[in-house]
Amino acid sequence: MKLIIGNKNYSSWSLRAWLAAREGGFSFGEIDIPLFIPGSRERILAHSPSGKVPCLNDNGVLVWDSLAIGEYLAEKQPALLPADATARATARSVTAEMHSGFQALRSKMPMNIRKDYRGFGHTPEVDADIARITAIWNDCRARFGQGGPYLFGRFSLADAAFAPVCFRFQTYGVQPDGAAGEYLATMLANPHMQDWAAAARAETESIPAEDLYD
Ligand SMILES: N[C@@H](CCC(=O)N[C@@H](CS)C(=O)NCC(=O)O)C(=O)O
């Protein structure tokens, strides 16, 4: 199994698939392709039909888009989704909401693990996205979080979906109150998240268009 991913500092979609694969206990190799430099597009297209990362190559089976990769991995490792049907439906709902929404947060607070942009990026739309994410985290923790420290107790695809938001909150100094704040701390202390962050800090490539507040 090989996962094709972009820069660990910036590629939020790559992080989702990578973390799901790590937490699912899969043994996989990585093909790391720095994005938005000459040759990037050709290199990605050699592996990924969409021309985007992440893309999973499981012994010739190609799966692209982080949502599809997560579902594929959860078919092989069902523990990546909650066992209870209501919890599972909610996990899929919040994962899909994250996947298709939060455009203001994405554009004004892009993932950028190496930077300290505390206080930057706030607009009314961004703050509304932050409020909705905080509400999701508090709601999932209260209703489904009894069996562990993650949104649905044990780690699930929903946590992978929100992993880049956790790095964003760290970079931009967003501290949610209550259970959501504790959940943020849990995610940032996750050993796989720390591995990813260490690798991001060690990268030398940068994408100037993403370094919004230098
Ligand atoms: N919805 C896709 C988004 C993938 C995506 O936009 N990937 C970006 C990097 S984070 C990319 O490959 N950009 C390179 C390009 O557009 O040339 C997913 O969930 O995988």
* Statement to judge: residues 101 and 30 lie in one domain: no
Categorise residue 39: left if φ over 0, alpha if ψ from -120 to 50, beta otherwise: left
Bond prior to 82 in cis (omega within 30° of 0): no
What domain count does the chain have? 2
- Between the CA of 11 and the centroid of ligand 1 the distance, in Å, is 8
| Helix, strand or coil, per DSSP, at residue 64 | strand
Which helix (H) or strand (E) element contains residue 62?
strand 61-64
Is residue 37 assigned to a domain?
A: yes
* Statement to judge: residues 114 and 171 lie in one domain: yes
The three-state (H, E, C) secondary structure of 4-37, written as one string: EECCCCCCHHHHHHHHHHHHCCCCCEEEECCCCC
* Statement to judge: residues 125 and 85 lie in one domain: yes
pLDDT at 173: 98
Given a contact cutoff of 8 angstroms between Cβ atoms, the answer to whether 69 and 54 are in contact is yes
pLDDT at 200: 98
Q: Which of 213, 214, 212, 208 is nearest to 35 (CA)?
A: 208
pTM of the model: 0.98
Question: Is any atom of ligand 1 closer than 6 Å to the C-beta of 168?
Answer: no
Top mutation candidate among 52, 56, 100, 106 for ligand 1, by most atoms within 8 Å of CB: 52
- Between the CA of 148 and the centroid of ligand 1 the distance, in Å, is 31
| Helix, strand or coil, per DSSP, at residue 93 | helix
pLDDT in tens, the chain (214 residues): 999 999 999 999 999 999 999 999 999 999 999 999 999 999 999 999 999 999 999 999 999 999 999 999 999 999 999 999 999 999 999 999 999 999 999 999 999 999 999 999 999 999 999 999 999 999 999 999 999 999 999 999 999 999 999 999 999 999 999 999 999 999 999 999 999 999 999 999 999 999 999 9
pLDDT at 112: 98
Edge-to-edge order in the sheet of strand 2-5: 29-32, 2-5, 55-58, 61-64
* Statement to judge: residues 45 and 69 lie in one domain: yes
pLDDT at 191: 98
Question: Is any atom of ligand 1 closer than 6 Å to the C-beta of 66?
Answer: yes
Q: Which residue's CA is the closest to the ligand 1 atom numbered 6?
A: 52
pLDDT at 57: 98
Sequence-separated (6 or more) residues with CB below 8 Å from residue 120? 109, 172, 212, 213
pLDDT at 19: 99
pLDDT at 160: 98
Task: State phi, psi for 42 to the nearest 5 degrees.
Answer: -65, -40
pLDDT at 142: 98
pLDDT at 165: 98
Question: Is any atom of ligand 1 closer than 6 Å to the C-beta of 65?
Answer: yes
Residue ranges making up the domain that contains 146: 81-196
| Helix, strand or coil, per DSSP, at residue 58 | strand
**Domain at 87, CATH number:** 1.20.1050.10
- Between the CA of 10 and the centroid of ligand 1 the distance, in Å, is 11
* Statement to judge: residues 166 and 178 lie in one domain: yes
